[in-house]
Structure formats: C-alpha cells, structure tokens
Structure 1
Amino acid sequence: MFKIKDFSPRKYQEVIAKTAADYNTLIILPTGLGKTKTAILAAIDRLNSHPNTQILFLPPTKPLSSQIRKEFIKNTNIEEEFISLLTGAITPKKRKDIFSKSKVIIATPQTIQKDLENNRISLEDVSLLVIDEAHRSRENFANTKVASFYKKQSQYPRIIALTASPGGSREKINEICKNLFIEKVEIRDEHHEEVSEFVKKKDIKWVEVSLPKEMKDIHKRIKSVYKSKLKELPKLGFNKPLSITNKTDLLKLQSQFRREIEKKNQIAYYGISLTSHLIKLDFLLELLETQGLGAVQKYWVKLNAENSKAAKAIVNNVEIKKAVEISDKLIKNNVKHPKLLMLRNILKEESKNKVIVFTNYRDTIEEILNFLREDPEIKPLKLIGQKLGLSQKEQVDIIKKFEKEEYNVLICTSIGEEGLDILGASLAIFYDSVPSEIRAIQRAGRVGRLSAGRIIQLITKDTREQGYYWSAKRKEKTMRSILKKMQDSTLLSKWK
C-alpha cells in the first residue's frame, strides 16, 4: 500500500484531493500553498484504488521536473527507482523502457507528446495525469495534445490541472477547462478562510522614476513621427478612430487589413505596411520608456538590417535619425535609464538579503548584470531560458548557487516566473511591468515562500508602465470573480 510521509496534509489539501479523486479538477492555489503536495495526495489515492497503474506528471521545464521528483521521493513511500524523470536527452528507446517500468513518470509535455505520436508509449495504464502550470494549455500546446491521447487511451482516466493563475478572461479559462476535460474547479485565494493562516504576506511598493530631459526629447521626436503616421489611417477608408492606444490595437488593425487583402482590396497592402511601421515605432518607444538607451540602440541596428518598407521608412526619417543621434551621444556620456540607477541603490540597501529581479528582455538582463557587477557589494547572477542560452542543468545549478548565498541577486526573464521553488528570496524587484495577469501572479509567487515577502515595482512615470500594472490588476480581479462562479458548477457536459 502506498502512503505519504514527512508531511501532514492541511485540511484544504485533503478536501481538494478528495474532489480530484472523483472528478477531473482544475486546482487553483496561490504559490507556496502546496499544489504539488495536493496532487501527490491524489496520486497516492489513485495508485491504491487502481493497483498496477501509473502516474504521469507534466511540468513545463526540466528544472521544475527535477524539483517535483524530489518531492515524490521525499513525501511518498514509493521506491526511488520507480519515480522516473524523462527528458529529451534520454534516447527514445531508453525512455520507452523507463516509462514501462516506472510507477511515477515526470516529464515535460513535449517529450511525452513526441513519444505518443511515435507510438513508443501508451497511456493505457496511467490512472492519473497531472498537468502543472496548466495555464499553458491552449489549443495547440503539448499539454492539450497529451490530454487528448490520455482521454482516448487510459482505462482509468483522471486529470488534475494545477496553476496559480489560469487567465483573466472567461474565454481563456473556458479554453483550459475544455482542452483538459475539466469537470470541477477548486479555488482558494489568499483570503479564503481555509488557507489565509498559511499565506505569507507580501508588501508591495511602487518606486517611480522620471526620464531625464534628454531622454524625454528623444521620446518626443519618436512620438511625433508615430502620431504623424497614425493620422494616415483614416485616409485609407477604414473608419478606424485615432484612439489606438497600444500594440494590441495595432495588431487587431493589421488583421483587419489582412482580411481586406483576401477581398482583393489593394489599399490594404499599404495598410499592412503602415501598421507594421506603427508597431515598430511603438516598440521603439516602449524600449526607451522601460529599458533604456542601450536597448534603443540595439533595435536601431536591427531596423537598419531589415529590408521591409516600414523599417526603411523609419531609419530614413529625419526626426528618428536625430533621436538616434542624441541617444548615441548620451550612451557615450554613460547616461543610464533612471530605473537602472534606482535598482542599484535598492540592492545596495538590501545587500544582506537575497533578491530576485525580473525583466522582460534578454538584452536588459545583460545591461543590468554588467552594471551591477561594477559594485563589489552586489553579487548578481542571471537566469534565462534554454532558447536564450542556458541548458536546464545550468538553470538548476544557478538556482542552487543563489540558494547557497554564493550570489545575492538573481536576474531573471520569464523562466524565473513559473513554478520554481527559489528558496530564501525575501524581495522581488519588477524592473518592468507586464500587462499579463498570469505573469504578474507568477512573478509575485517567487518571494515569501518561507516568510513574509516584499515586492518593489519600478515604474517610469507618465509611460505605459503604469497602464500595464493596472491592466494586470484588473485582469486578476476579473479572473477571481469568474473562478468563484465556476467553482460550484459541474462543467463536464460542456466539454463532451
């Protein structure tokens, strides 16, 4: 008989695990409240009620997979040799052998999807499929593909989906529920009476900076070109008002022009080029507002190398050329974005604490890293994804170095936002804002896992960053409202 060990389940974990034993369940818990342990409870129940079956656990990354394997080893009496980690680095033949002999299989969804599509494995004897970070379960994602195989193949199908943040709209949440055949939703937010005593409080503070006069001048020049191009839209006869406020609006308009091209509307070709022009200018403004002159300079080099009409029009524009000329002079004079200077000041004050810094762009990570290395009190390290140059083994090693206090500042892209237990970090600094409620929640979850945590949000005044922050907050509030309404309903009939 399989048992849990070395942890005492909390009441809410037992209640949720009971639901998950009987229904395909979407489990939504704040970070640090034991989603994985709740899934382990359900896994033990399934193994005992369905002898000679297996558990398949799908985390999105190898570092997270390694972490979950350790939890199964520590918190169950399943023999370690039967708790297996499958990765793409293992040969397909060996993966097949390991899969067949294992009681618990932990693997990324992409690895399992490939093996299923090549008929190397069958999910016939899998009595529980656990999908971690379930907000990654959109239509063509690997999670969704594996769930479909599982529903068709398993003799004893049961699905658990885990996340702290499924999405801020009913459409997104419904899509996840549909794709994963969810029947019940179990949600406990920070204020729920069952979990409130276990929630580590987080103190959130805004720190605002202002662009210096010279950078405002650059911004004004680029913005004037942007506004000038924006005024051309109504001339194309599409009755689009000038209240386009962000990249999303421009992308929607670009899609509208593409539909017009399918109708043989020749004017729409210019519309595509015009919106592309506007999107590039908008991105240039975003880099200036949120990242700094180095990012602007690198994007300018990229635009110069492009052959598109939009890129050529931008690099040949007199105002843009002048803006870049001013930018180059400021870089030579070592002018930094005020957020970078503020970040260093904060980190010097926090030199005895471990801090995670989040930013959206790889180039910004390099700039932050090089700048902070100039200060002997600050020991920074970067954590980036595989696509940006770090293997998953290197990612795990970096987290260990940070936890052992060899370094006191961890600078991350989105790889650091999801799932990973980065122990001991008491402060998270958001170098830039994200409009996504999912990413905002994931970022916040990286601190305060062992004790109360703090969050500092760096904001450039009078820029889109303020809007991004409030957009994420609105979406999060909407998400909570939708989920509370869904919790008491049975969803199965909708997804058959």
Structure 2
Amino acid sequence: MYSIKDFTPRSYQKEIFETTKSKSTLVCLPTGTGKTINIILLAVHRLNTIKDSKIAVVSPTKPLNAQHLKTFAQQTTIPSEEIALVTGLIKPEARKDLYTKKVIIATPQTLKEDIVNSRFSFKDFSLLAIDEAHRAIGNYAYNFLAERYMQDSISPLILALTASPGGTKTKIEEIKSNLHIWAIEIRTEEDIKEHIQEKKTIWLEVELSPELKQIQSLIKSAFKSRVNDLKKIGFTKPSSLISKRDLLILQQQLRKGLSKKNPSTFYGISLTASLIKIDYALELLETQGLIPLQEFWNKLQQEETKAAKAILKMEEMQSAISMTNSLMGKDIKHPKLYMLRGIIRNELEKNPKAKFIVFANYRNTINEIIDFLKKENSIKPTKLIGQKSGLTQKEQVSTIKDFEDGTYNVMIGTSILEEGLDISTGAKLAIFYDIVPSEIRAIQRKGRVGRTQAGKIIFLVTNNTREQGYKWSAYHKEKTMKKTLQLMQKETQSTLIS
C-alpha cells in the first residue's frame, strides 16, 4: 500500500479529492495553492484501489514534469524507481522500457507519438492526470490522449487541472468535452483566503518620449489613411475604434467572397492586411520600443506581398522608418526600461537578496532588457524562453535552479515562465513589462509570486495606448470566468445528484 508523506492535505483539497475519486473532474484552483497535491492524493488512492494499475501525469513542458517527478518522489511512498519521467529526448526503445513503471510523467506529444507507433497503451492505467488543462482546445495533444485513454483503459478516470480554463462558457465546455469531464471543482482566492499569501497589485504608467510620440503619430496617420481607403468599399467603423480583432474578422469575411472575383474584395483584403501590419508596428512601438520595431521594419522591407509594398510606399511610413533608424543611433530607449531598472534597484537597496520575475512578450525585448539591466552591478539577469526561441528543456531546468540558488536575481521570460512553475525560493515581486489581454495568461503570470510569502505585482503600462484597454479586458474576463465556473459547478452537481 502506498501513502502520502510529509504533508497534511488542506480541507479544500480533501473536499476536492472526494469528488475526483469517483468522477472525471476539472479542478480550478488559484496558482500556488496545491493543485499537484490533488494529483498525488488521487494517484495514491487509485494505485491502492485498483490492483496492478498505473498512473499517467502529463504536462506541456519538461520543467513542469521535472517538478511533478520531484513531488511524487518527496511526498509519496511510491519507490523512486517506480516513477519515470518520459520526454522526446529519450530514444523510443528506451521509452518502451520506462512504460513498465507505476507512475509515468510525460509530455503529451511524446505519449501521443508512442501510442501512434504502438509503443504505449493506456490499457492498465487507472488515472490520467492532465496539468495546465486550459491547453485542451483545438488539436492539442491532450485531446488525443483523453480520447484514447477513455477507449483503452479498463478503469478510466481523468483529473484535469488549471488555474484558468478560459473566460467563456463555450471555451470551458470545449475543454470539458475534449477531456471527458463530468464534474467541476473551483475554489477562488476568496474561498481559500486563509491558505494563500497576500498579493499587492500596483499599476505604474509611463509616458512615451517626444521622439517616440513623433513615430507614433506617423504610424497612426498611416493607419487612418488606410481606414479611409477601406471606407470607400463600405467599411464604416472610425479608425480610433478599430481593434485587431475587428481587422481579423473583416479579413475572414472578405476571403469568403473571393470566389465571386469582385475587384473590390481583392482590394479590401490587401488593405486589411496592410492595416494589420501597421497596427502591429504601432503595438511594438507603444509597448516594446525601437529595437523590436526596427526588426519589424527590416522584415517588412524583405517581404514581397502587395500589402508590404503598399505600406512602404506611404510617406508617413517612410518617415517612421527613417526616424526609427535615426533614433536607434542615439540609443533612445522605451521609458519602461528606466522604470524597470529603478524598481529593481530600489528593491535591492532595501533587500540585497530580493528576487524578481519579469514577463515580456517578445524575445528581442527580453534580450534588450537583459543588456540594459546588466549594466547595474547589483542586478544579475537571466532569461527563461521556450525551445523554439533557443533554450533546450535541460537548459530551462538549469536556469530555474540557478535562479533559485541565487546565481541570478532577475529572471525574464516569455510565456513559458507563465505556466505552472513552482519557483520555491521564488520571487516576491513580479513585473509585467507588457500587458496581456488574455485572462488565462494574466492569471498564470500573477501566480508566479506570493506562493510561500506575501508578494507584489507591478504592471508597467504605457499611457494613452492599447495597454490600458488590455488591463481592463483581462480583469473583466477573469471575473466572468470565475462566475461561469461557479455556475457550471452547481449545474454539474445538480445533474449528478439527479
């Protein structure tokens, strides 16, 4: 018989366990409140209850899976030799041998590949635990695994976990359907406030420099000019109210009319493509600075599309590109960089052992931040980025360890830094260098601090830009998500009772 060790489950974890042991369940808990404990409780129960069965735990990255491996080894009596971490870095034949273990911890793509190639079967598995379950949309590998698991397992039970499944009932229902979920268990920060650390939120606004405002004005003028061209073929919305989403919807609608071979449709598609590119340039300038903007201009000049060529012929855009190149030579920085350095410098003066997590959307922005911060002797920055951006999963694990050990005191990351990572000796302060309108990403980001002690979250917002809208968009979506989940939890409870 296996058991848990070195921890006592909290009351809400016990309540959730009572649901999960008999029904496939989607568990939604705030980050840092012990979702992994519910995997352990259920895994031990299933192994003890269903003779000769096995457990599979899947999460999207190796650093996350390495954490699960560590938690199983430290907090259960399951022998470490019966727990296997399986990734695509291990040769297929060697992976087959690992699948004889009691607990398999793996990336979903690896398991999918081995099922397709008949190297792995869910037949003897009594539990499939799916971490970061908000990814179970579209064609993500989780959906394939859940389907095959329900087909092949003799005693199927699924436990799906996330802090943020999505802001709409449609999105949550899609996850439920894809993962064969019957029940929902949600606990908000308010529900379990005695178990979570306080997180102070601060919004700091920066003003673009006069030089950057000049480029901003030129790009906005080009955008307005293209919208006026669009109005000539029937588009009526004012340029100040047009969002990226509006443009993408319009593009889809116009493409549906391509079969009619109407000249205005082709013109409209080209105009819309131009507007999307101009809007992206404006976003880079307002939220990131000159380096990402110059890189965008360089790529645009290499493109052969009609939209790119049309943009480059515009007088305003030619001036914007010329001014970008000129200001690059003068080392003009986005004001967020100075604000960021000041925040870190001040905190380190109060506490030289302080650690910081900085979230940024773009890889070249991360490189610029590191180069800028390295000039301060007290600041030791490093980056955590995905494999596609240049770090192997082994290097990712090593970077996290170096941060925890104090080799670095600032970790700057893209979306990989948002999901699930328990940086145990972690940062008390997280800084959002840019704002994301996604409630899922905002929740994930905020969960990286205040896990074992009170934390602080600072949002850097460029004044009079889209970032102010993004701030409220994520806030309202998160609020809607919690209300929707609570309602769906009640609905599933009443359905199961009846």
Q: TM-score range by the shorter chain?
A: over 0.9
Q: Which residue of 1 aligns with 2:385?
A: 384
**Cα distance change of structure 1 residues 493 and 18 upon mapping to structure 2, 3 Å threshold:** closer
Alignment counterpart, residue 307 of structure 2, candidates 302, 305, 310? 310
Instruction: Please give the residue correspondences for 1:56-455 in structure 2 after superposition, counting only pairs within 5 Å.
Output: 56-99=56-99, 101-192=100-191, 195-237=192-234, 244-351=241-348, 352=352, 353-423=354-424, 424-455=426-457
1-structure distance, mates of 2:87, 2:79: 20
Judge which range, 319-328 or 469-478, deviates more.
319-328
1:389-448 residue CA offsets vs partner (Å, 9 max, x unmatched): 000010010111111111111011111000011122000000000000000000000001
Deviation at 1:493, TM superposition (A): 8.5
SS at the partner of 1:350?
helix
Given that residues 66 and 85 in structure 2 are in contact (C-alpha distance below 8 angstroms), is that contact kept between their aligned partners in structure 1?
Answer: yes
Given that residues 432 and 458 in structure 2 are in contact (C-alpha distance below 8 angstroms), is that contact kept between their aligned partners in structure 1?
Answer: yes
2-structure distance, mates of 1:44, 1:142: 25
Specify the code of the residue in structure 1 equivalent to 2:367. Answer: E
2-structure distance, mates of 1:88, 1:18: 35
Q: Which residue of 2 aligns with 1:27?
A: 27
2-structure distance, mates of 1:51, 1:229: 68
Given that residues 251 and 269 in structure 2 are in contact (C-alpha distance below 8 angstroms), is that contact kept between their aligned partners in structure 1?
Answer: yes
Deviation at 1:267, TM superposition (A): 2.4
SS at the partner of 1:205?
strand
Specify the code of the residue in structure 2 equivalent to 1:203. Answer: K
Q: Which residue of 2 aligns with 1:469?
A: 471
2-structure distance, mates of 1:266, 1:149: 48
2-structure distance, mates of 1:418, 1:17: 23
2-structure distance, mates of 1:20, 1:46: 11
Given that residues 168 and 478 in structure 1 are in contact (C-alpha distance below 8 angstroms), is that contact kept between their aligned partners in structure 2?
Answer: yes
TM score, norm. by length of structure 1? 0.97
1:334-377 residue CA offsets vs partner (Å, 9 max, x unmatched): 11110011111111112221000000000100110111111111
Deviation at 1:11, TM superposition (A): 1.1
Deviation at 1:48, TM superposition (A): 1.2
Given that residues 355 and 426 in structure 1 are in contact (C-alpha distance below 8 angstroms), is that contact kept between their aligned partners in structure 2?
Answer: yes
**Cα distance change of structure 1 residues 291 and 241 upon mapping to structure 2, 3 Å threshold:** closer
2-structure distance, mates of 1:453, 1:373: 24
2-structure distance, mates of 1:143, 1:224: 45
SS at the partner of 1:334?
coil
Deviation at 1:265, TM superposition (A): 3.4
Deviation at 1:239, TM superposition (A): 5.8
1-structure distance, mates of 2:51, 2:164: 33
Given that residues 184 and 489 in structure 1 are in contact (C-alpha distance below 8 angstroms), is that contact kept between their aligned partners in structure 2?
Answer: no
Deviation at 1:387, TM superposition (A): 0.4
2-structure distance, mates of 1:250, 1:67: 41
Aligned residues: 491
1-structure distance, mates of 2:207, 2:235: 37
Deviation at 1:206, TM superposition (A): 0.7
Deviation at 1:241, TM superposition (A): 6.4
1-structure distance, mates of 2:234, 2:27: 48
**Cα-Cα RMSD:** 1.5
SS at the partner of 1:433?
coil
1-structure distance, mates of 2:263, 2:14: 62
1-structure distance, mates of 2:286, 2:194: 40
1:456-488 residue CA offsets vs partner (Å, 9 max, x unmatched): 000000000010111000100000110010112
1:165-218 residue CA offsets vs partner (Å, 9 max, x unmatched): 0001111111101101111000000001xx210111100001111001111111
**Cα distance change of structure 1 residues 262 and 146 upon mapping to structure 2, 3 Å threshold:** farther
**Cα distance change of structure 1 residues 206 and 473 upon mapping to structure 2, 3 Å threshold:** same
Unaligned runs of 5+ in 2: none
Q: Which residue of 1 aligns with 2:54?
A: 54
Q: After TM superposition, what 4+ stretches of structure 1 lie above 4 angstroms from structure 2?
A: 238-244, 491-494
**Cα distance change of structure 1 residues 491 and 198 upon mapping to structure 2, 3 Å threshold:** closer
Given that residues 355 and 428 in structure 1 are in contact (C-alpha distance below 8 angstroms), is that contact kept between their aligned partners in structure 2?
Answer: yes
1-structure distance, mates of 2:281, 2:452: 40
Specify the code of the residue in structure 2 equivalent to 1:267. Answer: S
Q: Which residue of 1 aligns with 2:4?
A: 4
TM score, norm. by length of structure 2? 0.96
Specify the code of the residue in structure 1 equivalent to 2:280. Answer: F
Given that residues 258 and 272 in structure 1 are in contact (C-alpha distance below 8 angstroms), is that contact kept between their aligned partners in structure 2?
Answer: yes
1-structure distance, mates of 2:166, 2:481: 6
Given that residues 224 and 239 in structure 2 are in contact (C-alpha distance below 8 angstroms), is that contact kept between their aligned partners in structure 1?
Answer: no
Deviation at 1:490, TM superposition (A): 2.4
Deviation at 1:139, TM superposition (A): 2.5
2-structure distance, mates of 1:376, 1:239: 54
Specify the code of the residue in structure 1 equivalent to 2:468. Answer: Q
1-structure distance, mates of 2:44, 2:260: 58
Judge which range, 232-241 or 342-351, deviates more.
232-241
Deviation at 1:106, TM superposition (A): 0.3
2-structure distance, mates of 1:242, 1:324: 22
1-structure distance, mates of 2:493, 2:177: 9
Specify the code of the residue in structure 2 equivalent to 1:62. Answer: K
**Cα distance change of structure 1 residues 239 and 321 upon mapping to structure 2, 3 Å threshold:** closer
Specify the code of the residue in structure 2 equivalent to 1:426. Answer: K
Deviation at 1:237, TM superposition (A): 3.5
**Cα distance change of structure 1 residues 235 and 52 upon mapping to structure 2, 3 Å threshold:** same
SS at the partner of 1:130?
strand
2-structure distance, mates of 1:147, 1:125: 15
**Cα distance change of structure 1 residues 459 and 259 upon mapping to structure 2, 3 Å threshold:** same
Specify the code of the residue in structure 1 equivalent to 2:420. Answer: G
1-structure distance, mates of 2:268, 2:85: 50
